[in-house]
Structure 1
Amino acid sequence: MLDNKDPGSLQISDISRHAGVSASTIRVWEQQDLLRPTYTESGRRTYREADLQIALAIKRMRTVEGMKIAEIKAALAAQAVASPDPVREADEEASTSEVGANLRMLRLARRLTIRVVAEEVGMDPSVLASIERTSLGMDMPLLKKLARFYGVTLNKLMGVAASEPMPDREFVTRDHGEPLPRLGLGVRMERLNMVRATMACKRWFVEPGVHSNGAYRHEGEEFLVVIAGEFEITIDHSRVHHLTPGDTAYFRSDMFHSWRNPGRETAELIWIGVGDDF
C-alpha cells in the first residue's frame, strides 16, 4: 500500500471535523469495531468518504436515537447488507465533485497561499486545505464567498459543463437529470435543463438534519416546490417557512436566505433560479 498521498483520502482530523466529534471519539469507535480505517506503510490512519458516512450515522444513532453500541453494530451490519460495497459507491459519487481541485487551481494560478485566501474569506486555513484536498466540508455561503473572491460563477467553481444553446423545440428530461458536483455532505443535485436559458432548473435531495450552514444572497429570483419530506427556508434571518410536499416558495435572491431539512427523511425538491449565480 502506498503512503497517504491520495488527494481523495481523509485523515482522522477530517473525519473529526466533518462528523463533529473529537479525534479521541473516533479512536474509541475504532476500538469498538464500528469504524475500520486502513493504514499507510508509515502507520497513519486513512479513510474514505464511506467511513465518514458511517461516522455521521454513528453520531446520529448515539445522540438522536439513543442507541447502544450493540444496536449500532446491528444497524450498520444491516446497512452493509443493503449496500454491499459502500466504499466503491461513495468513491464513485465523490469522484463527480471537482470543487476542491478547481479551488486549488484557481489559487495556484494567482500564486496565493492557503493562508492568504483563508484570511480574505474569513475561514480557518486548515478547513480550506481539507476542502481543496477532499472536496468535502463545503457549504453554500462559503462557496459563494470563494466564487466572489476568485471572480468566477458558482457553476464555474463547481466545474459544471456549459449549457447547450437553446433548442428550437421543447426540452424534456426523463427520470433523472444530470448529476451535479456536490456542495456538501448530505446534499445532492441534478440539473434538469441542460440548455442555455434564463432559468436554471435543479432537483435537490437534502438528507435529514442537513442545513446551509448560514445565510447567503446573490442576484436573481428563486422558486421551489417540495416533492417529498420536509424543508425549512428562512428569509432575511427572521421569516421561517416550514414546507411539506406540495408547498412552494418564491423569493428574491438578493434577500438573505438559509435552509435546512428538519425532518426524518430525505427532502426532495425542484428548485428554479433566475440569475447567473444560481
Structure 2
Amino acid sequence: MTLNAGSSHPHAAPVLPGAQAASGAGVETMRYRIAEAARRTGVSTSALRLWERQGLIRPVRTDARYRLYSEDDLERLRRIRRMRAEEHVNAPGIRRILAAGVAGAASLDGARLRQLRTQRGLSLRAAAERSDLSVSFISALERGATTASVAALQRLTSAYGTTVLGLFGPGMRGRRLVRPGERPMLRLANSAVRIEQLAAAGSTRLEPQLFVLAPGATSDGAYAHEGEEFLYVLDGAVTIWIAEEESYPMAEGDALSFPSTLPHRWRNDASGETRLLWINTPPTF
C-alpha cells in the first residue's frame, strides 16, 4: 500500500493515522507499508523485520505502530540486499559500510566509463564482447544504476585499453609525498572495497595502493593483466587464489608475490576490515 503522507488530494492514496508528512518546497513525501516496501525492493517482509532488529534500517512508525518506509529507505534496502546477495557481507559489516562516510572517496563514475567506451568507438555490444560482461550490466554501470566488483571493473577497463587507475581522475602529478588525507580513493562493490592511491599519478613503473575490504568482501571473480604484483597484509585476514590451483590464506604480516598474468581472486576472511598494501608493476591493474 502506498501512503502519501500529508496529501489532501481526493484521489491520493489514504494516509494511515499518525503518518507524518515530510514537506519540503511543497513536495509530498511518499511512504510505503512493509508489504509494498518488500515488493518494491525484492526483499521479503521477514527480511525487512530482521534487518530492522539488526539495526540496518529504521522505518518510521505510526501511532498504530505501522512501519512506513520512505524512498530513501527503499534505496537503502536495495543497497543492503545487494551487499547480502552479491557480496555476502554480514550484518555488522553492512552497518559499518552504511555508517562509513569516507571523505574524498568517490563512487564509480558511470559518465567516465561511458566516455572511455565512446572514445574508443565501441558500442555497448562491442564492449560486452570484449569484456565478457553483459550489455545490460555495462549500460546499468554507465547510468549509475548498479556498481561493479573489482574483477568486473578490471575486465571492463582492460577492454577499453586503460586501467582501474585511470578512474581515479587527474591525481597528484609531480608529488613525492602523499599524506593520508590527500589520497585519491575509489569505492567499489557497494562500498565493500575501498582503494586508496598511495603514489602520485604519472608513475610508469609502480602502482602502490591500499585496499580496505569490508567483512565478506570478495573480488567476485578472477582477473589477470600484465606485470607482477606484491601484497602485504597490514591487518585482518584474506585468502588469495592463483590460477585456481594455488590458495594462500594470509594473516597480518604475511606477504605474497606472483605474476599478474595468472588469474587471481581474493576474499576477506576477517570478521572486520582487512587492509592490504597492494603493489603492481608496471601500473597495469
TM-score, normalization by structure 1: 0.66
In 1, Cα distance between the equivalents of 2:89 and 2:165? 36
Q: Secondary structure at the match of 2:107?
A: coil
Q: Residue 6 of structure 2 aligns with which residue?
A: none
Tell me the alpha carbon deviations over residues 47-81 of structure 1, each in whole angstroms, 9 at most, x when there is no partner: 54x44454467779x9978xxxxxx9xx99xx6xx
- Indicate yes or no: 2:173 matched with 1:164: yes
Between 267-276 and 23-32, the greater mean CA deviation after superposition:
23-32
Aligned length: 232
Contact in 2 for aligned 1:223/1:248 (Cα 8 Å): yes
Note the C-alpha offset of 1:172: 4.0
Unaligned runs of 5+ in 2: 1-23, 26-37, 60-68
Q: Which has the higher helix share?
A: 1
Q: Residue 70 of structure 2 aligns with which residue?
A: 38
Give 1:25's match in structure 2, choosing from 15, 27, 43: 43
Q: Residue 252 of structure 2 aligns with which residue?
A: 245
Contact in 2 for aligned 1:207/1:265 (Cα 8 Å): yes
Percent of aligned pairs sharing the same letter? 25
Seen in structure 2, the aligned counterparts of structure 1 residues 175 and 108 have a Cα distance that, compared at 3 Å, is closer
Contact in 2 for aligned 1:160/1:181 (Cα 8 Å): no
Q: Residue 270 of structure 1 aligns with which residue?
A: 277
Q: Secondary structure at the match of 2:211?
A: strand
Give 1:194's match in structure 2, choosing from 195, 200, 210: 200
Q: Residue 62 of structure 2 aligns with which residue?
A: none
In 2, Cα distance between the equivalents of 1:175 and 1:275? 23
Seen in structure 2, the aligned counterparts of structure 1 residues 254 and 115 have a Cα distance that, compared at 3 Å, is closer
Q: Secondary structure at the match of 2:256?
A: strand
- Indicate yes or no: 2:218 matched with 1:181: no
TM-score, normalization by structure 2: 0.65
Give 1:103's match in structure 2, choosing from 87, 99, 113: 113
In 1, Cα distance between the equivalents of 2:120 and 2:283? 24
- Indicate yes or no: 2:237 matched with 1:230: yes
In 2, Cα distance between the equivalents of 1:221 and 1:26? 45
Seen in structure 2, the aligned counterparts of structure 1 residues 117 and 270 have a Cα distance that, compared at 3 Å, is same
Between 255-264 and 96-105, the greater mean CA deviation after superposition:
96-105
Note the C-alpha offset of 1:129: 2.4
Give 1:206's match in structure 2, choosing from 190, 213, 232: 213
Seen in structure 2, the aligned counterparts of structure 1 residues 181 and 47 have a Cα distance that, compared at 3 Å, is farther
Tell me the alpha carbon deviations over residues 163-208 of structure 1, each in whole angstroms, 9 at most, x when there is no partner: 523x6xxx44444551322232310121112254322211111112
Q: Residue 10 of structure 1 aligns with which residue?
A: none
Between 225-234 and 128-137, the greater mean CA deviation after superposition:
128-137
In 2, Cα distance between the equivalents of 1:192 and 1:117? 30
Note the C-alpha offset of 1:159: 3.8
Q: Report the RMSD for the aligned CA atoms in angstroms.
A: 4.0
Structure number with larger C-alpha Rg: 2
Contact in 2 for aligned 1:99/1:135 (Cα 8 Å): no
Contact in 1 for aligned 2:41/2:74 (Cα 8 Å): no
In 2, Cα distance between the equivalents of 1:219 and 1:275? 8
